[in-house]
Chain A
């Protein structure tokens, strides 16, 4: 965020699933900056809106239903309002469930004097038979109300105009409002207030902090517990102990206020007609049909990804990377050999190879964005919840894991939808155990070369092994690393709605570019290091450090029945899983046709199975590790994941080889 003196700062608040990102994207277009909230792993988006010479800096607050600190998002949102004091706050509400969404307004008006209501999805509301009298709502709330249909690009211009207009006027009063609480609650709040000083509650307003304490807000309570002397805290605590039910009472009062506002401004169909969403959900959330639906949806996704993404990746590899490599070889004779190899193998073969996966990644982000926009992701979580319980996780973890079958990177990044830190971390650590498309390709090539007609059985067996490992590991980690505390599923299933291609495109683009920006350096550095190791000092992979490590490790790899070449291939798969095949090709020589022959020469069936097991469980690729670092905010869990999978991969491969040999495979 660049401090621009003239820019007005406008915060966009609203619950999840009200179309906040659509509105934000439409208003700011490509002028946005995506980062993280200071010190948090929650995404922060800011962007610029220009209107009649006015520059508005729009800040997208995390999606929240309320402003009581139940989650990181809520805490961030309210801290922003308190400390940054934006010039204006736009509350984006869903017109189809106003009674739910106006609740947030009752909390927002306690923190900010200047509010604008943006009433999104008025089309959905109308479709559900709900009629809202906008003028009456404006006067009841004493705030401007702008009806809009963001998905159809309606009402946004009006919103900007109202923002500009409201900003032009001086603030009538800095006083913030709130719902009338009645003497009992007001008395309690006043009493708590009297026990506190402004300094104690800084930066929060004292009155507000007192109210939140009464509501049992854990963050404010913790803050004051740390700040106050023991005696003063004890006095407060004693008083609050008696007020357990106040949170519900307050919520009730707020909600009564909402109902009161709506009674004169909204007309609802008297009889609850079964809505479109409910009808679809009869299938989509049914314990059996829901799974069938999920299976169909996932098959379609993989059909698309494997049908478009992988051929694209492959043709990029052939037409771009390999052609460029040939060019380097043909035209750069004047350079020393090592420089040629650096460009050809290090940069093009490493970074270039990773880059060819960008279309697949983009495609996955599209699919993910689409499912999110339509509202299906929440249903996936719902139908799979019961299975995830085994792992101490809840349903929100299943979509990221399912995406992992395509690529582990979106899987790791997709864990963002999980609120519980613990569940999120566990999912991040389990995601790389899902065999991604890259590993599947390696399994395919090697199984076909060694096992011929039985390749498919072997391939499925190896995949099954990796999934069993995932489940067992999940159980163990849940038990011993995370102390068996299961997080409970609790979430809204949003109304289904028409996807907005522009939003999906923009979000996928952002996610892809953000990923490249944040992980590009790491991938570059690691690729170069691997290249150096595989080139120096001998000038070829056989005589390189990597080659020597492989040879030096041979006694160890013999335990898996492997000679040094597959071991080296495994090591190079660190950059990208597909490299396994490329490296084997180089080490064994003889192009694609010869590779099968050569593979049969060095791998016995038992060794081949061991190799595949080692390969499928081997350390996550650089891109995935970078994603893990990004999502967990440090190297600690990257190191954990690396060592865990290294140990797993080798020990299981050894076990598999030894057992297979005993069985006489």
Chain B
């Protein structure tokens, strides 16, 4: 196992590489909170180990081995975060620092058990993807929220800055990953007005920079597609719109959780027989004929 320091460096370089390539030694010093000479020392060591390439006066970049090592650390970090929130019940704004310590002391065996305990979770509590055990990261079509324009509807996918205060603020707004927001207005200073569940939220530019989002519809002209719930494929989801069948059944549907704007996810839809959907965290079985009369707006998500 590599030393904790080495792992810290590789992780920091990997994070920085998303925005800066190669990564300057001064950014590294700032991210890790160490002095510049200390960074230079360490860089020499990492270079000697074949983990990074260093171009004097420009900066460093990870070699393929270095990047594998970095992803492996990130994987452990995010798995631990999931563990801390899901199993131990820590709040999501408190898990980053803990995970930073735990990630370095994790054997491959523990990592494997951890992953299976978590049901092979694929994101950290903040929504960032967990690299799989071979170091592959799912490619996501994400952009910072600040890059979207007025009128666009997006799905918040992740918070990329794991700062306690920021996370608490986001949680309070209810803007956690998987929430769907519409950009009502984008101001000149980059601040945003968002609409979520009928409420208006105001975000400054810097916060919007740290929130990653996925566009919900390809372009502005894309129309919300209204289809019977029976046409959703396994894994697809939609928003409950209305019911077109007998009025007498409406009450029962409502009591099973079909309230306006509830999100419905298809769990099982084979060619015939009843379908199984999940809404409000409960699995509901529906007759196919019945399902043909339940209209939802399909979420045009990639997955």
CB pair A251–B254 under 8 Å, yes or no, is: yes
For residue A267, CB closer than 8 A to chain B, the reply is yes
C-alpha gap A247/B259 in the complex (Å): 10
CB pair B126–A216 under 8 Å, yes or no, is: no
Q: Can you list 23 pairs linking A and B with CB atoms under 8 Å apart?
A: A70-B252, A74-B255, A100-B280, A100-B281, A131-B91, A247-B250, A251-B254, A255-B259, A268-B176, A270-B126, A272-B178, A273-B119, A275-B119, A277-B283, A278-B283, A382-B274, A385-B274, A385-B287, A488-B287, A489-B285, A490-B249, A490-B287, A493-B276
> Would you give the 0/1 interface string for A274-287, flagging 1 where the beta carbon is closer than 8 Å to chain B?
11111101000111
Q: List residues of chain B with CB within 8 A of the CB of A271.
A: 121-123, 125, 127, 177-178
Apart from A66-B255, A273-B121, A278-B267, list 5 A-B contacts with CB within 8 A. Answer: A248-B254, A252-B260, A272-B265, A278-B278, A279-B119
For residue A631, CB closer than 8 A to chain B, the reply is no
CB pair B251–A270 under 8 Å, yes or no, is: no
C-alpha gap A124/B286 in the complex (Å): 25
Name the distance in Å between A487's Cβ and chain B's nearest Cβ: 9
For residue A217, CB closer than 8 A to chain B, the reply is yes
Count of chain A residues with a beta carbon within 8 Å of a chain B beta carbon: 64
CB pair B280–A99 under 8 Å, yes or no, is: yes
Of all chain B residues, the one with the shortest Cβ separation from A258 is B259
CB pair A492–B123 under 8 Å, yes or no, is: no
Q: List residues of chain A with CB within 8 A of the CB of B118.
A: 273
For residue A96, CB closer than 8 A to chain B, the reply is yes
Q: Select A218's contact among B91, B92, B248, beta carbons within 8 Å.
A: B248
Of all chain B residues, the one with the shortest Cβ separation from A255 is B259
Query: Which of A66, A126, A269 gathers most chain B CB within 10 Å?
Result: A269
Decide: A287 near B285, CB < 8 A? Known: A270-B177, A490-B253. Answer: no
For residue B201, CB closer than 8 A to chain A, the reply is no
Q: List residues of chain A with CB within 8 A of the CB of B276.
A: 281, 285, 382, 493
> Would you give the 0/1 interface string for B283-297, flagging 1 where the beta carbon is closer than 8 Å to chain A?
111110110000000
> Would you give the 0/1 interface string for A504-526, flagging 1 where the beta carbon is closer than 8 Å to chain B?
00000000000000000000000
C-alpha gap A248/B91 in the complex (Å): 35
For residue A97, CB closer than 8 A to chain B, the reply is yes
For residue B106, CB closer than 8 A to chain A, the reply is no
Of all chain A residues, the one with the shortest Cβ separation from B88 is A126
Decide: A490 near B256, CB < 8 A? Known: A256-B198, A270-B178, A271-B123. Answer: yes
C-alpha gap A106/B282 in the complex (Å): 19
Of all chain A residues, the one with the shortest Cβ separation from B257 is A100
C-alpha gap A255/B253 in the complex (Å): 14
C-alpha gap A30/B78 in the complex (Å): 50
For residue A321, CB closer than 8 A to chain B, the reply is no
CB pair A270–B268 under 8 Å, yes or no, is: no
> 8 Å CB contacts to A: which residues of B161-177?
171, 174, 176-177
For residue A173, CB closer than 8 A to chain B, the reply is no
Name the distance in Å between A253's Cβ and chain B's nearest Cβ: 9
CB pair A270–B261 under 8 Å, yes or no, is: no
Q: List residues of chain A with CB within 8 A of the CB of B256.
A: 65, 490-492
Q: Select A386's contact among B86, B197, B247, B274, beta carbons within 8 Å.
A: B274
Name the distance in Å between A134's Cβ and chain B's nearest Cβ: 14
For residue B262, CB closer than 8 A to chain A, the reply is yes
CB pair B282–A247 under 8 Å, yes or no, is: no
CB pair B260–A386 under 8 Å, yes or no, is: no
CB pair B272–A386 under 8 Å, yes or no, is: yes
Of all chain B residues, the one with the shortest Cβ separation from A264 is B172
CB pair A394–B287 under 8 Å, yes or no, is: yes
Q: Select B255's contact among A65, A96, A273, A277, beta carbons within 8 Å.
A: A65
Name the distance in Å between B273's Cβ and chain A's nearest Cβ: 4
C-alpha gap A275/B176 in the complex (Å): 19
CB pair A100–B178 under 8 Å, yes or no, is: no
Of all chain A residues, the one with the shortest Cβ separation from B240 is A248
Q: Select A251's contact among B259, B270, B282, B284, beta carbons within 8 Å.
A: B259
> 8 Å CB contacts to B: which residues of A68-89?
68-71, 74
